[in-house]
Amino acid sequence: MDICWGAFLKALRQHVATAGPAQQSIALILIEIQPFHIYNFQFGFEAGETIAAEVLTRLKNYIKKAVVLERIGVNEFAVIIEDVPIQELLFLSAQRIVDALRIPITVGDEALALDPYLGISLFPDHGQSAEALVSEARIALQRARDSGTAYHITLKKDSEKRLAQWQMEADLNRALATDGLRLCYQPKLNLQSLTPSTSEALMRWQLPNGQTIYPSRFIPVAEASGVIHQFTEWAINTALREVAELTPENGDELSVAVNVSTTSIYDRSLAFTVESALAIWNIAPHRLTLEITESSLIKNPQLCFKHLSELREIGAKIAIDDFGTGFSSLSYFKSIPADEIKIDKSFVKHMVTNEDDAKIVELIIELGHKFNLQVVAEGIEDRETLKALQALQCDYGQGYHIAKPMDYQSYQNWLSDFQIDRH
Ligand code: C2E
Ligand code: CA
Ligand code: CA
């Protein structure tokens, strides 16, 4: 049987070209038959061809409105329907096609059951070109396969959301190339000596129109697109470069903490990136802390521990961020290769008024100290909380009450003002 993908695409292009000006709708249905390869292997090529021929016959019987109906791959079929009435009817048709294809096919003495998967896209809702429709239908097909439901129809809002995501991915790549990223610094104050010897670098994305985008919006997209590795590399290098230039008047060396996302911590080249950056900016490794969230540990503790140990061998420090929210078990905790834990701000925020939160904070501080870890409390928003944490012997504190995240210049000013205030 002929497999004619090229001819099919050509036909789809023609239908799109004529449907456009006429404001007509078109549905593209991609159908995949499983487990075709297994049957081909078990019963031979001839059996496979018999199945494919029967599928084609059934499709032709059930989809009377098809203007084109072709086999486009070994186990793939494609259908074009014009003048699609309403999407709800398309769901019904999809179910009818699935039911028809699920009737077992007799090959020799065997009755072979098939699993059909359908991915459907619509013109003009999901794409203006044949290629865009195919791409949407393929994504829908994959959704159907992944979710184990027989068919998936791309909804307009899905494709709009995806378009927005792709746009942001492209913009993020550009931001990296055109100097659109910035680091803000939020001091981590030593609560016992009240020295501001370290800070956390927090990333900001500055749009050309001056608008600032916060990491909760763009880090997930950067992770999904893979550009996060370059972001991590950029953040480590920028933080080290900027901190190397900042030395307070009393000559104390400043340290800095950089956030490392889950994807980057599992990246084998992270240790190399860190080692190179430390060498380039000539910074002693202990001045760099990498913050990783408790929840990224849990994904694959063994591999994560291995990578953290490599980083510690280089001499960098490790902080476990958002501690208390990731539900890691205490058995992991005892072997975490870390130097610091950061109590999540959700516990710190209300510790003065909420007795349970206060108990959790106290427990985490005790636990950390028992395991020789420094403890940092984040989210300190008032003086009472700061005092309470000092009384509990918490080592470091961070929060709006001490200082908000500041751009590089403001951080520099803050450091000198801080020293003046202390004199
Ligand atoms: P995080 O590491 O837990 O950072 C703390 C967040 O709490 C920051 O938000 C900070 O601005 C905010 N914050 C600080 N003090 C207070 C306070 O007193 N009260 C309250 N309510 N919030 C406070 P931001 O800068 O929007 O960052 C959000 C998250 O984005 C960070 O959470 C971190 O997970 C991630 N992130 C930031 N920069 C980077 C980066 O360079 N790389 C990666 N992978 N993630 C980053
Ligand atoms: Ca952090
Ligand atoms: Ca945190």
Mean pLDDT, consecutive 10-residue segments, the chain of 423 residues?
77 92 88 91 90 94 88 93 78 87 91 93 88 92 86 74 81 91 97 93 94 94 92 98 80 90 94 97 96 88 94 97 80 86 96 96 96 96 96 98 97 84 52
Structure tokens at 302: 């063994």
Distance 238 CA to ligand 1 centre (A): 17
Provide the token pair at 24: 């007509």
Per-residue exposure over 405-416, b if at least 16 CB sit within 10 Å of its own CB, e if not: bbebeebbebbe
3-state secondary structure 83-123: CCCCHHHHHHHHHHHHHHHCCCEEECCEEECCEEEEEEEEE
- State residue 15's pLDDT score: 93
What pLDDT does residue 115 have?
A: 92
What secondary structure does DSSP assign to 149-193, as a single string? -SEEE--HHHHHHHHHHHHHHHHHHHHHHTT-EEEEEEEEEETTT
- CA distances from residue 37 to 8, 13, 220, 232, 330 in whole angstroms, order as listed: 23, 30, 37, 42, 47
In angstroms, the CA 98 to CA 54 distance is 14
The span from the CA of 123 to the CA of 127, in Å, is: 6
Q: Check pocket membership of 219 for ligand 1, CB cut-off 6 A.
A: yes
- Tokens 């494609």: give the residue: 78
Place of tokens 């129109």: 209
| Number of CB atoms found within 10 A of residue 175's CB | 23
* Residue closest to 66 by CA, chosen among 55, 80, 56, 53: 80
Within 13 Å of residue 40, how many CA atoms lie on the same side as its CB? Answer: 11
Q: Are 147 and 138 in contact (CB under 8 A)?
A: no
| For ligand 1, mutation pick of 350, 378, 380, 404 (most atoms within 8 Å of CB) | 378
In a 3-state reduction of DSSP, which class is residue 329? coil
Q: Distance from the CA of 202 to the center of ligand 1, in angstroms? A: 6
CA-closest residue to ligand 1 atom 8: 202
Give the pLDDT of residue 349: 95
Contact 92, 125 (CB under 8 A): no
3-state class of 280 per DSSP? helix
